[in-house]
């Protein structure tokens, strides 16, 4: 969810993501340091495959990133020497910039004993925890993501930076601060002879110093050294500094902005505090306070994203390795320039793209696994979403060392590096996946995928996670930016087609509803007409019955008429025998007129009598009333007379 602060103007909040100035990664300040000697050896390095681990990588088509042989078995593999496979320039086809000369020598700290294989190199950093024989790493040229990240970082920072003397001064000052901090740690550790590795090896200060001096230049000219160093793990003591150098997150302007907004009140403070208390950190009293400040600051800085529990998990490794304000800058960099923000906004468009790319890589590299998952109805969103949204922080909640190693690769190669580890995990578990059905398979994918990396430590007997094997499995996966772009274009096209299909379905649904409405109206009209038809039919039937009765009555009247006419005719015939019928008829008429006149006179007389009766009744009533008044008056006078006599 997103929270909008009340104190910050809306237009300022909308511009923060685009207008703050980050120091560009392609303009690192040149700080003098001892130059790194280059190796003129052309002998290819070799690595040794170890027991009970993933076998050597299969041949890969450098353009399509497709494995050319069926999925490999997960059983033991006999030890063998493998030459370093240097990718052809075709890896950077389709318009990509040409690669610099690719050196074949390992970092300086690893060149002391050339009998060491890269497997043993990886195990040096954590030999106290893991058996070196368990570690495996392919040195196949696989640094396209690293170079692509450098190019993308240069483009993004050049767009956000403002060319000015003030910005140049800020950039130089930020670089000097990081360089000074790095030198301080280096001097302190060299004096005290303390290292982040075991007693058999030291930090390659020369390599890391050149990275701090000018990361982009070093990366382009020593890409193999850099890739191997990152794969081996950034030393813990300087991890925070290297993260900031690689990501170019150090920004005085952003630090100033953080100082200004951190004093404000964030709507999500209670939720942030509640979630922080649930997280496992190294020093809760210190880390939780820093984490609260970083999350509160970002919720105010970017109200659209605001705060989520996933953001808290992402920020934990940052606050564990740098200061509070530096962790805030790193978090902003991850979400803005590394495009992690697209995983947290509404709809999570970035997550959908990564899941599609993940599915396509599985389809191209592990077709049997992809087909099996599809047949079982298992979608990647059912088990892999949290890997991408939280940068594996939810998966490795109890393994912070693994999480930091993943962050090492993400900082240098970008969010796309998550695909390495996601595919690597599935690839390592391919045999088990192919034997499981839906319910057991889904449970396995969610809960037991990482069990294959746990082993018993030979010295302590503890159950430990084989970090180097996990990282090596990720580096076994060949991922080309051009391939990811192809998948991205496919997703966009499919998404556009799906959106058009949805719109078409919605339009058809709307048309269907309109037609259904018309049908309903027509059905109502038909029902009304049916009712009217029934009424008309009933009326017609009634009228038919009436007509029939009238016809029968007419027949009767006609018959009666004929009978009467016959009687009249007979009577007239009878009258004709007694005398003059016309005279008699006239006499009857005269008599009838006389009788009518008499009747009229009597009726008039009766009417007059009735009028007189009414008048008499009225007069009688008046007389009775007068009589009553007189009688009353008489009685009153009599009473008065009697009274006077007494």
Domains in the chain, ordered, with CATH?
Answer: 141-155+168-186+204-337 (1.10.8.270), 346-479 (1.10.472.80)
Tell whether the model's pLDDT for residue 73 goes beyond 60: no
pLDDT given for residue 47 in this prediction: 31
pLDDT given for residue 567 in this prediction: 73
Q: Going by C-beta distance under 8 Å and a sequence separation of 6 or more, which residues neighbour residue 63?
A: 90, 91, 93, 480, 482, 483
Average the pLDDT over 559-583 and give the result: 70
C-alpha of 572 from chain center:
112
Of the pLDDT bands very low, low, confident and very high (cuts 50, 70, 90), residue 579 is low
pLDDT given for residue 299 in this prediction: 93
Q: Residue 589 and residue 507: Cα distance in Å, rounded?
A: 93
Mean pLDDT is lowest, of 75-84, 425-434, 593-602, for 75-84
pLDDT given for residue 169 in this prediction: 66
Q: How many CB atoms lie within 10 A of CB 578?
A: 8
pLDDT given for residue 626 in this prediction: 82
* % pLDDT > 70, the chain: 71
With left for phi above 0 and alpha for psi between -120 and 50, is residue 347 left, alpha or beta?
Answer: left
Q: How many CB atoms lie within 10 A of CB 171?
A: 23
Of the pLDDT bands very low, low, confident and very high (cuts 50, 70, 90), residue 147 is confident
Mutual orientation of helices 205-213 and 223-232 as an angle, nearest 10°? Answer: 120
Of the pLDDT bands very low, low, confident and very high (cuts 50, 70, 90), residue 41 is very low
C-alpha of 25 from chain center:
32
Tell whether the model's pLDDT for residue 432 goes beyond 90: yes
Are 143 and 100 a contacting pair, CB within 8 Å? no
- Cα–Cα–Cα angle for 148, 151, 153, rounded to 5 degrees: 105
Average the pLDDT over 18-40 and give the result: 39
Q: Which of 484, 390, 384, 491 is nearest to 433 (CA)?
A: 384
Distances in Å between the Cα of 515 and the Cα atoms of 40, 315, 529 are 80, 54, 21
Average the pLDDT over 400-412 and give the result: 93
Are 191 and 198 a contacting pair, CB within 8 Å? no
Tell whether the model's pLDDT for residue 389 goes beyond 90: yes
Tell whether the model's pLDDT for residue 478 goes beyond 80: yes
pTM: 0.61
The string of pLDDT tens digits covering residues 179-203 is 889 988 888 888 876 544 444 347 8
Q: Is 399 helix (H, G, I), strand (E, B) or coil?
A: coil
- Cα–Cα–Cα angle for 299, 302, 304, rounded to 5 degrees: 100
Tell whether the model's pLDDT for residue 53 goes beyond 50: no
pLDDT given for residue 580 in this prediction: 67
Q: 71 vs 631, which has greater pLDDT?
A: 631
Tell whether the model's pLDDT for residue 440 goes beyond 90: yes
Mean pLDDT is lowest, of 285-294, 369-378, 402-411, for 285-294
Are 18 and 250 a contacting pair, CB within 8 Å? no
Find the farthest-apart pair of alpha carbons in the chain and give their distance in angstroms, rounded.
175
Of the pLDDT bands very low, low, confident and very high (cuts 50, 70, 90), residue 341 is very high
pLDDT given for residue 259 in this prediction: 92
pLDDT given for residue 576 in this prediction: 55
pLDDT given for residue 374 in this prediction: 94
- Cα–Cα–Cα angle for 233, 235, 237, rounded to 5 degrees: 150
pLDDT given for residue 51 in this prediction: 35
Are 58 and 72 a contacting pair, CB within 8 Å? yes
Q: 302 vs 607, which has greater pLDDT?
A: 302
Q: Residue 586 and residue 582: Cα distance in Å, rounded?
A: 6
pLDDT given for residue 238 in this prediction: 93
Q: Residue 321 and residue 407: Cα distance in Å, rounded?
A: 11
Tell whether the model's pLDDT for residue 125 goes beyond 50: no
Tell whether the model's pLDDT for residue 157 goes beyond 80: no
Are 233 and 208 a contacting pair, CB within 8 Å? no
Tell whether the model's pLDDT for residue 308 goes beyond 80: yes
Of the pLDDT bands very low, low, confident and very high (cuts 50, 70, 90), residue 325 is very high
Q: Residue 218 and residue 25: Cα distance in Å, rounded?
A: 12
Tell whether the model's pLDDT for residue 118 goes beyond 70: no
pLDDT given for residue 591 in this prediction: 78
Tell whether the model's pLDDT for residue 357 goes beyond 90: yes
pLDDT given for residue 153 in this prediction: 58
* % pLDDT > 90, the chain: 32
Average the pLDDT over 150-156 and give the result: 61
Are 10 and 69 a contacting pair, CB within 8 Å? no
Of the pLDDT bands very low, low, confident and very high (cuts 50, 70, 90), residue 565 is confident
With left for phi above 0 and alpha for psi between -120 and 50, is residue 391 left, alpha or beta?
Answer: left
Indicate the Cα dihedral angle 182, 186, 189, 194, nearest 10°. Answer: 90
Mean pLDDT is lowest, of 163-177, 300-314, 489-503, 547-561, for 163-177
Are 253 and 20 a contacting pair, CB within 8 Å? yes
CA R_g for the chain: 53
The tokens of 453 are what?
A: 């990396």
Tell whether the model's pLDDT for residue 91 goes beyond 70: no
DSSP state of 266: P
pLDDT given for residue 207 in this prediction: 92
Mean pLDDT is lowest, of 239-253, 488-502, 592-606, for 592-606
pLDDT given for residue 421 in this prediction: 94
Are 153 and 26 a contacting pair, CB within 8 Å? yes
Of the pLDDT bands very low, low, confident and very high (cuts 50, 70, 90), residue 14 is very low
pLDDT given for residue 156 in this prediction: 52
Q: 313 vs 148, which has greater pLDDT?
A: 313
Q: Which of 402, 479, 365, 470 is nearest to 54 (CA)?
A: 470
Are 477 and 419 a contacting pair, CB within 8 Å? yes
Q: 272 vs 42, which has greater pLDDT?
A: 272
pLDDT given for residue 279 in this prediction: 84
- Cα–Cα–Cα angle for 104, 110, 111, rounded to 5 degrees: 65
Average the pLDDT over 146-155 and give the result: 71
Q: Residue 294 and residue 298: Cα distance in Å, rounded?
A: 6
Residue corresponding to tokens 């170079």 = 147
pLDDT given for residue 520 in this prediction: 85
Q: Please tell me the chain's helix, strand, coil percentages from 3-state DSSP, rounded to the nearest 5.
A: 65, 0, 30
The string of pLDDT tens digits covering residues 483-522 is 999 998 998 888 888 878 888 888 888 888 888 888 888 8
The mean predicted confidence, pLDDT, of the chain is 74
Q: Residue 123 and residue 530: Cα distance in Å, rounded?
A: 90
DSSP of 51-101: TTS--PPPPB-TTT--BSSPPPP-S-----EEE--PPPGGGGTTTPPPPPP
Strands 81-83 and 454-456: unpaired
Of the pLDDT bands very low, low, confident and very high (cuts 50, 70, 90), residue 301 is very high
């Amino acid at each position: 969810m997103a929270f909008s602060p009340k104190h910050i103007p809306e237009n300022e909040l909308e511009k923060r993501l685009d207008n703050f100035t980050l120091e560009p990664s392609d303009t690192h300040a040149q700080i003098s340091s001892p130059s790194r000697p280059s190796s003129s050896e052309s002998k290819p390095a070799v690595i040794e495959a170890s027991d009970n681990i993933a076998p050597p990588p299969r041949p890969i088509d450098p353009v399509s990133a497709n494995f050319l042989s069926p999925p490999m078995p997960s059983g033991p593999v006999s030890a063998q020497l493998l030459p370093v496979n240097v990718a052809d320039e075709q890896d950077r086809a389709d318009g990509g910039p040409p690669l610099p000369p690719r050196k074949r020598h390992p970092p300086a700290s690893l060149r002391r004993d050339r009998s060491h294989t890269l497997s043993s190199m990886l195990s040096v950093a954590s030999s106290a925890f893991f058996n070196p024989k368990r570690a495996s790493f392919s040195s196949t040229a696989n640094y396209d993501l690293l170079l692509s990240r450098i190019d993308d970082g240069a483009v993004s920072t050049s767009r956000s930076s403002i060319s000015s003397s003030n910005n140049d001064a800020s950039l130089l000052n930020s670089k000097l601060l990081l360089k000074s901090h790095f030198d301080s740690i280096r001097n302190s550790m060299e004096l005290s002879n303390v290292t982040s590795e075991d007693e058999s090896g030291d930090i390659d200060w020369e390599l890391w110093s050149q990275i701090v001096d000018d990361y982009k230049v070093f990366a382009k000219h020593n890409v193999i050294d850099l890739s191997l160093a990152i794969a081996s793990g950034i030393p813990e003591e300087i991890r925070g500094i290297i993260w900031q150098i690689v990501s170019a997150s150090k920004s005085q302007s952003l630090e100033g902005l953080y100082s200004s907004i951190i004093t404000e009140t964030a709507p999500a403070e209670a939720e942030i505090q509640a979630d922080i208390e649930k997280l496992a950190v190294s020093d809760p009293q210190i880390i939780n306070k820093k984490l609260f400040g970083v999350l509160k600051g970002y919720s105010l800085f970017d109200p659209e994203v605001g705060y989520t529990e996933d953001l808290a998990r992402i920020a934990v490794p940052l606050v564990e390795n740098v200061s509070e304000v530096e962790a805030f800058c790193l978090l902003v960099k991850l979400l803005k320039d590394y495009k992690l923000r697209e995983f947290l906004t509404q709809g999570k468009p970035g997550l959908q793209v990564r899941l599609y790319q993940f599915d396509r890589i599985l389809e191209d590299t592990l077709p049997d696994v992809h087909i099996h998952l599809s047949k079982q109805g298992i979608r990647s969103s059912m088990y892999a979403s949290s890997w991408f949204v939280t940068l594996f922080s939810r998966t490795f909640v109890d393994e912070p060392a693994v999480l930091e190693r993943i962050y090492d690769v993400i900082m240098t190669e970008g969010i796309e590096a998550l695909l390495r580890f996601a595919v690597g995990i599935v690839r390592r578990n391919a045999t088990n996946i192919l034997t499981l059905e839906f319910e057991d398979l889904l449970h396995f994918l969610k809960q037991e995928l990482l069990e294959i990396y746990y082993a018993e430590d030979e010295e302590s007997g503890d159950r430990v996670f084989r970090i180097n094997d996990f990282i090596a499995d990720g580096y076994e996966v060949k991922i080309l930016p051009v391939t990811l772009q192809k998948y991205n274009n496919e997703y966009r096209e499919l998404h556009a087609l799906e959106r058009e299909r949805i719109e078409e379905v919605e339009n058809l649904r709307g048309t269907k509803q309109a037609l259904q409405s018309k049908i309903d109206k027509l059905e109502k009209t038909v029902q009304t007409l049916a009712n009217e038809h029934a009424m008309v039919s009933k009326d017609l039937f009634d009228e038919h019955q009436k007509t029939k009765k009238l016809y029968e009555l007419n027949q009767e009247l006609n018959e009666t008429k004929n009978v009467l006419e016959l009687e009249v005719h007979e009577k007239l015939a009878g009258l004709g025998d007694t005398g003059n019928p016309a005279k008699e008829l006239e006499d009857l008429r005269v008599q009838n007129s006389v009788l009518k006149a008499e009747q009229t006179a009597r009726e008039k007389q009766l009417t007059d009598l009735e009028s007189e009766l009414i008048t008499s009744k009225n007069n009688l009533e008046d007389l009775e009333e007068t009589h009553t008044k007189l009688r009353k008056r008489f009685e009153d006078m009599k009473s008065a007379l009697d009274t006077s006599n007494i």
